[in-house]
Amino acid sequence: MTKFPEGRPTHCGIDHAALRWNLSQIKKTIGPRVKILSMVKANAYGHGAVEVARTLAKSGNDAFGVATVEEGIELRRERISQPILVLAGVYLEQLDQLLRHQLTPVIHEAATLRRLDKAVRGHKKKLKVQLEVDTGMGRIGLSTAEIESWLPLLGQLKALTIDGIFSHFTDAESANEKYTLGQLSKFHQVLDRLKLANLFPASHMAKSAALITLPASHLAMVRPGLILYGMYPAPAMKKQIALKPVLSWRTRVIQLKRSPAGTSIGYGRTFVTKRNSIIATLPVGYADGYRRLLSNRADVIVRGKRAPVVGRVSMDLTTIDVTDIRNVQQGDEVVLLGRQGGAEISADEMAAWANTISYEIFTSIGARVPRFHNKL
């Protein structure tokens, strides 16, 4: 029988050897002159931010990206000393925390830049910030078309240091090369205007997809996210960089039940056996992030073979049909995501069943699912 960690049998394994491998492949792709800002927001895409950041910090990473001040503080409390960029915006009420924990906020508009500069002056402190400019994403960021209205402000700042400037591609995964190159061109126009104003902040624009497909976008720094965790932004990129999945998700059979033909399984009677069947119940459900949309769609792996999910995924339990798999026993390992023997279920495959993307699969795995970190 597979040796399981103590505690709840439903758990995720995090392979730090694969994480280090993926970082090494990124370094190989970008070369020695380009720095790496690793994205560890959303609990490192569900992988465990603190443990992931520790490994990356020891493996040549240069900075970290988080979404919120709270995520940054979590890393600082665990003695992560590298620069931490807070990407999703900050509020003046958070200034004390930014200063105390030496976090670098991203500023998206001129009004916030003015207010923050005044507030930092009131503390008689200095604070590094970075600017985001909108070159075509259409979410947040200083407008490239309105650069003449906000550029003069940068020279008037007293307490803020412009440590970096960046933008975000909207479509680097697809074949829409014209739009992507147009975004890069707009960003270079902004950089040129900054140079004329004797401002030279570090520039970055390439997330995972552009890091692979568009070397011209590497600039001073890149921002890998999904590829750190071993997944490809698009299938065609498998030919360009060799990655290893970092996360696996496993559980165990909690009960086996022989069900005659005509037996309904689960809420709503969405599955009824057509033959004498063996139904296995698993201690995992949508409260763990195993999505309800996987009902009657997904497969799992038992004894090296695929078994279909049957009936509705409920909050804490999921049922599978193991009729065609020999000698399944209570306590057997079941792979929800990952590899067992020669069979594998990827996050992309699970995402297709759930009509979503692999990012959401990873980040939806709940906090009550323990992560076990293999750092060898």
Question: For the domain that residue 152 is a member of, what is the CATH number?
Answer: 3.20.20.10
List Cα–Cα distances, 272 to 262, 312, 323, 363, in angstroms: 6, 11, 14, 32
Asked if pLDDT for residue 1 goes beyond 70, the answer is no
Each residue's pLDDT tens digit, 157-195: 999 999 999 999 998 887 568 899 999 999 999 999 999
Each residue's pLDDT tens digit, 281-319: 999 999 999 999 999 999 999 999 999 999 999 999 999
pLDDT attached to residue 4: 59
CA angle 55, 56, 59 (to 5 degrees): 90
Task: Kindly name the residue from 179, 238, 267, 375 that is annotated as catalytic.
Answer: 267
pLDDT attached to residue 275: 97
**41 included as an active-site residue:** yes
In a domain, 324, yes or no: yes
In a domain, 236, yes or no: no
**91 included as an active-site residue:** no
Range of the domain at 269: 247-374
In a domain, 321, yes or no: yes
* Percentage, residues of the chain above pLDDT 70: 98
Q: Is 66 found in the same domain as 105?
A: yes
Q: How far apart are CA 264 and CA 271, in angstroms?
A: 6
Each residue's pLDDT tens digit, 103-148: 999 999 999 999 999 999 999 999 999 999 999 999 999 999 999 9
Q: Is 213 found in the same domain as 254?
A: no
pLDDT attached to residue 177: 87
Q: Is 251 found in the same domain as 142?
A: no
Mean of the per-residue pLDDT values for the chain? 95
DSSP 133: E
Q: Is 216 found in the same domain as 328?
A: no
Q: Is 179 found in the same domain as 66?
A: yes
- Determine if the pTM surpasses 0.85: yes
SS3 string of 52-88? HHHHHHCCCCCEEEECCHHHHHHHHHCCCCCCEEECC
Q: Is 26 found in the same domain as 157?
A: yes
- Paired tokens of 296: 């009657």
Question: What is the CATH number for 302?
Answer: 2.40.37.10
In a domain, 1, yes or no: no
Task: Kindly name the residue from 35, 41, 186, 207 that is annotated as catalytic.
Answer: 41
Q: Is 304 found in the same domain as 210?
A: no
Q: How far apart are CA 264 and CA 249, in angstroms?
A: 27
Task: Indicate the number of domains in the chain.
Answer: 2
- Paired tokens of 1: 């029988």
pLDDT attached to residue 175: 54
In a domain, 238, yes or no: no
